[in-house]
Structures are given as structure tokens and as C-alpha cells.
A and B are shown apart, each in its own frame.
Chain A
Amino acid sequence: MFPDLFRNTLTPLQWTLVALVPPAILALYFLKLKRQPLEVPSTYLWHKSIEDLHVNSLWQRLRKSLLLFLQLLIVFLAIGALLRPGWKSTALEGNRFILLIDNSASMSSIDVEGSRLARAKRLANDIIKKFERDTEAMLVTFAGRPRVVQEFTDNHSLLKQRLDTIQPTAESTELLEALQLADGLANPARIAIEEDGKEYEMTEPLPATVYILSDGRFRKVENFSLGNLQPRFLPIGTPAAENFAVTALSTRRHETRIEERQAFGRILNATGKEAVVTAELFLNGEFLDAKAIKLPAGESSPVLFPLENPQPGSLELRLALAGQRDDLNLDNIGYAAIEPATTGRVLVVSPGNPWLEYVFSTERIRQLATVEFSRPDVLGLEDYRKAVESGLYDLVIFDRCRPAAMPRANTVFFGTLPPSDAWQQMAIQRIEAPLILDWHRSHPVMANVELEAIRIWETAILPMPPGALSLIDAQDGPIAAIAPREQYQDIVLGFATTIDGAEGEGSNTTWPIQNSFPVFWMNTIEYLAGKSEETGVVVHRPGEAVEFAVPQAPEKLNVVAPDGKQWTVHRGKHNLYSFLETGTPGIYEARLANKVVRRIAVNLFDRQESEIRLTQRTTTQDGKEITEITPLEIGFVEVKGMPDWRPTRRELWPWLLCAALAVLGIEWYIYNRRIYL
């Protein structure tokens, strides 16, 4: 009759036992009514005393039974509480649930009571409270990567306990992996057998309802089929949330003044109105500069600070918000590491090239890099191998010689081809007196390089590996090219400055006597050996693994997190160090014997996370315009948000239980004080 008014909490056997309690109390009461005889000196005074009390005998009987009534009332209140009466509830469908709780950075927003994560936890708690006795559920959080907080269980108090342990993170959001994990764990006992190359399910997969408690600030999920999962999206947050964020910070050398650096930042105004915010720059905690930036509504603006001879350390760009509402504090600071102003290291392996020696002896080059010269026979030595494997050099120039394996550095092959398969895939075509048709004028290496007047005696036409870019084109193909290799770049020039002829070594090109020759090498050094001057180009995000190299590559070093925690990191493959505990944004310092050898900035810098406003869309339904929370797109399924969905029943049982306890207290008092009406 009222399917939702009561909720069964006991088994039939337990109900039978409960139903026996009132008859038991009545039986005990009637047993108790057999009055105990007590001999007294005289009933004279007692008769006199009870004469008045006998006036209304029916009322007397009722008064005598007051304790009985109170006891029965307690039992009925307790039974009522066990029935869990309540109203206004939304039914939960099914009895297997997966609660996916978003604990990414944007869930720390405080536009709802507590925070979005706190609200999500409250909502999840309400869902758990509504479970039937045999309902199974699983708890999964998702941010940068999913984490199973609790596997399927029907122990609801354990679920609540585990729910409390969920902590916010500073990571970005990735739902796909969480869904894949949920799909995998939803039916852990599923057995599939393979027969004739086909897979057969031996057990029917059980359906599960997935509650996604999130603010929906993530990319749409593609290439995922929900299958047996029934998604329900409970959006957390408000479309009126406001946030200001630093979404980028990097430093680089000044274009013209070599001793000066510049800090580039980007500030986002994720509110509905134009605002002016002050961006403050701090270096190692000391204030450097501040700028007021006018930010149009919903847009971001760049901010540029000049840095004169900055000390190595951590650079922070903080937002100073003068009374402006900001619901997410996590993204108000951007970090960048300033490494010591070191010059690049360049190794020139050459049988002897006076032109190169001359070019690299200029003051300008010396400012940019330390150049070492070696003979080609060094390539066979262990010292060389160790040096290039540890990444000691930023750039290695192979002049008419080539190593057995590619070094862990940028390279320039001058008159030879790299030993890697990519460059050796086809037979090399050599031509004489090539006609230079064009060159890549916009590439940094070719900036201000004029090649019109040069003559080349002999050159190789380069085989272009995938991703290679032609720098100089002759009539038969490229004679100079640049190609990426892992994190390095290789420049290959098909011709050298000298050529071995019948009469001995002779000049192969007129290029060295042109202005463009030193300009080209200058560009190359700047481009390939001067990169360490730039920071913040690669963004490390919280929760992501960081790989880094340090000079000399010691076996282990300490990494100090911004919150002061320390980890020991061991050298890994390719002399790289891998570090995983990047949960907190800030500067992580790699230390060797308490000396900082490397700084790594970990930043949120995620516009999706900083745009904390819940997105809305307007649709037309039956001629009426309806504004609703933008649904989640999972595969080809649209999962509509249910912002008003409330699983909480207004439960009466706590009140009934309190009333039962109160009546118990009254009964106790009456019994002990022998108070009758």
C-alpha cells in the first residue's frame, strides 16, 4: 500500500522474535500481578491510607497498569523504528552499484557547502544509506587516474568508513580509465572461454548502476561502451561558481639581451564578468614584481615580467584577489624553476676543421656554450660512451665521422649520415654541383642564413626519415634536414667543408667564407645547445610521473616535495630519474648531498579544471526552452545530469528511537520514584 513508507530491515525470523516481545511483556505483567503477601504489624494505617485511593477503582486499575502501558509503548516505538518509516525518496534501481567520485582539483571548489568533494561524499553517503540489506556497491575515485577505494561489498558501514577516507587531489580529470576499471570490476567472477578463436561468456554479466558524482569538468569520453553499466550523472557544483587561475608560467632568455630572462604567465578569468586582478611574482619567496591585469569575462590574458640576472630557485606567480570571489584556491599560484644560468656543452668530433674551430672561437658562442673538440678516434673510447650516455653534452657535432650509436644529445652530422636505421633506409645518392633551390627561412636554425651565393662541389641527397624537415633543397632533393629523435633533434648536412680528392683534401664548398656560415652555427648552438635556458615549456601536472636527468647521474638522489616530504630516487634506464609522488603542486627539488641539482615545477595548469563553472545548455522541448546541465558524453550515450536528485529519505526512525528512549527514561523514573498519576 505504501511501498516507500516502510523499509524492511529484519528477516522473517527476526520479525517473529520481535513480535513475541509484547505478549511476553503482557505475560510478565500478569505474572507480576500475583501480589506478594507481606505480614505487617497492623493493616490499620494502610486501610486508612488507601481508603481515598479506592474512590475511582477503574482509574486505579489504569494507574496500576501505567508501567505496562509504558513498556508496550516502548516496544511499539522500537518496532516502528525497525520498520524505518520515511517519505520523499527516490528509488534506487538494482542492487549493484558503483559510485565513481571525482576527486580532481576542481572538486576542491567551495561554491557548494564544504566543498564539491564534501558534497559528493555526503551524496554518496545518502545513497549508501538507502541501500537494501543485500545491496552490493563499490567505491572508485577518479582524477588523473582511477583508484579503487572499496571493492564490491554489501558491508554498508565499511563503505561509509571507506568513503570518509577519500581525500581531494590536485590532479586533472580522466573518466575513461575509471569507467574501464568499473566495467572490469563490476563482474569480477565473469568467465570467458575461447573456442575456435571466438570468446564465449560463460556467465551472464550482471548489470550495475554507476553513479558519477562529478562536476563534469573533463573531456568527453570516447571509445567506451557502457555495456551493462547504467550511468547516472549527479552533477556537483553550480554554474555560478567563480574562479581565477594561473594557467601557465615559463621563463626564457630575452631575445636580444642575453643576460636577461623573461617570465611568461597566463591568467584565466573563469567568471561571468570582466575583472582586474593583480599578478605578483615571487622568487624564492621574495617579492619581485606585480602587475594589474584586466581580464575579460571567461578569457585568459598573458602577463610578462622581465627578470634581470635571476638567482636559481623557485619562481611563483600568485594572484592577489582584492575581495573578488574565488571558489578554487588550488590554481592561484603557478610555479617555475629557474636553473643556474649554465652554458650548453658542445662536443665537436672532427678530424680537423679550421673553419669550425674559427667559428666556435667567437665571444658570442663562448657565452652560449662551452665547445670541446675531439678527434674521431675518441668515439671508440669508454669515456666518450659514458659522457654521451649520461647526457653530459647538449649537442654533439660529427664532422665527417659518425658514432656507432646515436648519443643521448642533439646532434649535427656534417658531411655524414646518422647511424640510425631511419637515415640508412635507402641507398645514398650523391650528386655534384647541386643547385640550391630554396631553404627553410622560417626555421630558427636558418634564421638570417643567406645561401644564394654559395657553391657546393659534392653532396649527398638525404633520405628523409619520418618527421624530418628539409632545411636546404637542391634540385634532386634535400641536402640539409632536421629530424626529431625522442627528446632530441638531429641536423644532417649532406656536404662537408672539405672533400678528399685525388690530390688530397680540398675545399668542398664556398660556404665557410660566407657570412651565413657562422650565422648558421650560431643559430644551431642557440637552438640545440641553449635550450636549457628555457623552463616551463614542458608542464608536469600533479599525479603524473616526472622523468629528469641530472649532470653526472649519481646512483641515487633525494627529492624534496613542496610539503617537505623526502623521497630517495634511484637512477633508472638511460640515466634518467623517475619520480611519481607529485601530488602537490609546487617546486620539487632533486638534491645530492643537500645541494639542489635540479628543480622540477609541478603545476595544475589545466584550463578544464580551472573553468569550474558547471556548463549548461539550452534545449527546446515541447516548444519551451529548457536550460539544463550539459550531459556527459560517454561513447555515444548522453548521460543527463540529475542536479535535483536526492536519495535521502526523510527518515522517522531516529525520532521513534529517541521517543522510545525517552519513554524508557520516564518508565524508569516512575518505577524508581513510584510516581503514579
Chain B
Amino acid sequence: MPTSTESSLLPPDLVTRLERLELVTRKIFRGRLKGERRSRRKGQSIEFADFRNYVPGDDIRMIDWNLYARLEKLILKLFLEEEDLHFYSLIDASPSMDFGEPAKLQYAKQLAAALGFIGLIRADRVKIETLGQNPQHRSSALRGRRSVWRMIEQLETIHANEMVTLADGIKNFCLRNRGQGIVVLLSDLLEKTGYESALRYLLSQRMDVYVIHVLSQEELEPEITGDLKLVDCEDADIAEISTSAPLLARYKKTLAAFVSGAQEFCTKRGMNYILVNNQVPVYEFVSSYLRRKGLVR
């Protein structure tokens, strides 16, 4: 996979490490194709799961004849079903994501690439979408290790120029994708109309929702001085401030309230909320934060 290894989104050392991981979901989804995923549903694989009595209509190939010889009872031997998983990365590509070093959008793309890579190598169906994507334009699902380069290509075409509200973006996503699976929303949630109504759209889908709240170091710990005219990059709104310690303290307090509000909103509704600073290395975030949250193992 020369493309993936050369991409800045998936550096080779990251690829090596990610190969050990796989995506997990707590919910039971019916995959469309057999995948490499051990489903919680019983099915056909070589991995033994359980025994149960035969009832008419069962596949007689599953009957454990050795048990029948010993007990003279028809006992079915159940194996774990291996199936594929739908994994969606929903990236907020609004101009506000173009801030920070690295830019929040770049960070979000790296995360999406990493998670997508894990999905692809485990034969899951991976879809990369952005909030500003046309509702009619369905992006094709990627599957298999060979699709990694296509995923990277797709990610690299994403730029922070989509002027769409969070609510509209998610609504359109839900219209496009009615299936089940894992959806990871990568956004800064800086939406003046609020993120709540937008996230509610996701709840309506039977999806395992991960909200990864990407914020830059400059937003978490602003280092600005003097009398400033802050200009909003999306709507050119202006806020005049004179920096001072109380103001900065108040900003941090407001930010903390905003973050805890989002976390509470998500947790109450069964969504997973994870705040990430763009300074945290991608692999560390995936292997540590997301593993703790149960998205990968």
C-alpha cells in the first residue's frame, strides 16, 4: 500500500501500530457481508460459542454428532458468527476547523484515517463523510485493505470550506445513511445555534455514536494579550476584548461549562463523548482514549 504509507494522514509507524487494533461496538448489528468481526450473534465460524437443543428447522450441519452418540440427543453446536461492521466517520469541515497547529480539521482527518484503516484491515465497511456533503451524493463504502488508498484520497479532498450548520450536516448524513453501525462525529461543536438538536438526529438512528470533540490548544489555553477585536471566521461576528486574567479565567470557566454540558448531553443519551486536544498524538488518542471508551480494542 504505497499510497497509505506515503500519506501524512497515515504515517508508516502509525500504520504498524494500528494493525493490532480493531473496532468494537456494544450494539448488535447485522452485517451485510461476512466479515472478520466476531459478532455477538451466533453463526458460522470455527470459533465455538455454545450448545443448544435442536429444534426443527435448524441446520442439521450444526448438530454435534459426537454428543448424539453419547447422549442420544440432538444437540446443536453453536459457533460465533463473524460479520462485517459499518463504520462512519463524519467530519466537520467548517472554516472553524481550520485553526490550530495542527489544524483541527487535519487532526480530525488523521483520526478518521486511523479509525478507517482499522476498519478496513478488519474487513469492515468504512464510509468517510463530511457535514457539508450533498444529501443526494452518497459516498461509496470502502472495504478491505486495498481500499485504504481510496480512503486517504477521499480524506485529502476534504477542505475547511463547508458553510453548513451542524444540525443540517447531521440531518443530511442521517438521510443518506439509514443503516446501523458506528458513527464517529469529529467536530469542534462550536455552533452558535447549539449542538443539541444536531446530535438528536444521530440518536434517531440506531447507531453507536461517538462524538469526538476536537479543540485546539489555542482554544483550550488561549495565549492572547492586549486589546483585541476577535473576528469569527465563519460569520465575521466581532467580539471586542481587553485581555485580563479574570477574562481568561472566565473564558476557561465558560469553556469548561461548554465541554461538561456536551459530555452530559451525550452521556445521558447513550452517546460517547470524548474531548481531544489537537496536541495529543493520534495513536495515543486511539490506543488509549478510544480503547478506554470501548471503540477499539
Q: Which residues in A have some Cβ–Cβ distance to B below 8 Å?
A: 32-33, 35-50, 52-53, 63-64, 673-676
Contacts and interface: CB of A to CB of B under 8 A. Distances in A.
Contacts of A673: 245
Contacts of A40: 99, 230-233
Nearest to A38: B228
26 contacts: A32-B227, A36-B227, A38-B224, A38-B231, A39-B230, A40-B230, A40-B231, A41-B95, A41-B97, A41-B98, A41-B104, A41-B190, A42-B192, A43-B237, A44-B192, A44-B232, A45-B251, A46-B239, A49-B250, A52-B250, A674-B225, A674-B243, A674-B248, A675-B245, A676-B242, A676-B245
Interface string B216-251: 100100001111111111100111111111111011
Contacts of B255: 45
Contacts of B241: 46, 50
A50 B254 CA distance: 10
Given A41-B216, A42-B192, A45-B255, A33 B227 contact: yes
A52 B242 CA distance: 14
Contact of B219 (A36, A41, A49, A63): A41
Contacts of A35: 227-229, 240
Contacts of A33: 227
B242 A46 contact: no
A49 B233 contact: no
A38 B250 CA distance: 19
A60 to B, nearest CB: 8
Contacts of B258: 45, 48
A41 B254 contact: no
A33 B227 CA distance: 7
Nearest to A37: B229
A553 B220 CA distance: 99
Nearest to A35: B229
B83 interface: no
B39 interface: no
A619 B244 CA distance: 74
Contacts of B248: 674
Contacts of A41: 95-99, 104, 188, 190, 216, 219, 232-233
Contacts, number: 103
Contacts of B243: 674
Contacts of B97: 41
A52 B251 CA distance: 11
A674 B244 contact: yes
Nearest 8 CB-CB pairs, A to B?
A42-B190, A41-B96, A676-B244, A43-B239, A35-B229, A49-B251, A43-B232, A46-B239
Main secondary structure, interface of B, reads: mixed
Contact of B230 (A43, A52, A53): A43
Interface residues of B, number: 41
A64 B250 contact: no
Nearest to B250: A49
B250 A53 contact: yes
Interface of B: 95-99, 104, 188, 190-192, 216, 219, 224-234, 237-248, 250-251, 253-255, 258
- Interface hub of A37, A39, A41, A52 (most chain B Cβ within 10 A): A41
B247 A53 contact: yes
Contact of B228 (A36, A48, A63, A676): A36
B212 to A, nearest CB: 16
Contacts of B240: 35
Contacts of B237: 43, 47
A370 B225 CA distance: 105
A337 B251 CA distance: 93
Given A49-B247, A674-B245, A43 B228 contact: no
B161 to A, nearest CB: 14
Nearest to A671: B225
A41 B234 CA distance: 7
B245 A39 contact: no
A402 B191 CA distance: 136
Contact of B254 (A39, A48, A675): A48
A588 B237 CA distance: 97
A38 B231 CA distance: 6
Contacts of A50: 239, 241, 247, 250
A48 B224 CA distance: 17
A43 B236 CA distance: 9
A39 B233 contact: yes
Nearest to B232: A43
A490 to B, nearest CB: 103
A119 B245 CA distance: 54
A669 to B, nearest CB: 11
A38 B99 CA distance: 12
Given A32-B227, A35-B228, A36-B228, A45 B254 contact: yes
B103 to A, nearest CB: 10
A44 B229 CA distance: 14
A674 B224 CA distance: 10
Given A35-B227, A36-B227, A41-B95, 16 more contacts: A35-B240, A38-B229, A38-B230, A38-B231, A41-B96, A41-B188, A43-B237, A45-B254, A46-B230, A46-B251, A49-B247, A49-B253, A49-B254, A64-B227, A64-B242, A676-B245
A36 B229 contact: yes
Residue among B96, B246, B251 having the largest count of chain A Cβ atoms under 10 Å: B246
Contacts of B104: 41
B250 A39 contact: no
B239 A47 contact: yes
A49 B245 CA distance: 12
A46 B191 CA distance: 13
A39 B96 CA distance: 10
A32, A37, A675: residue with the most chain B Cβ atoms closer than 10 Å: A37
A430 B160 CA distance: 146
Contacts of A675: 244-246
A35 to B, nearest CB: 4
B250 to A, nearest CB: 5
Contacts of B188: 41-42
A39 to B, nearest CB: 5
**Which of B228, B231, B242, B248 is packed against the most chain A CB atoms within 10 Å?**
B242
A16 to B, nearest CB: 31
B96 A42 contact: yes
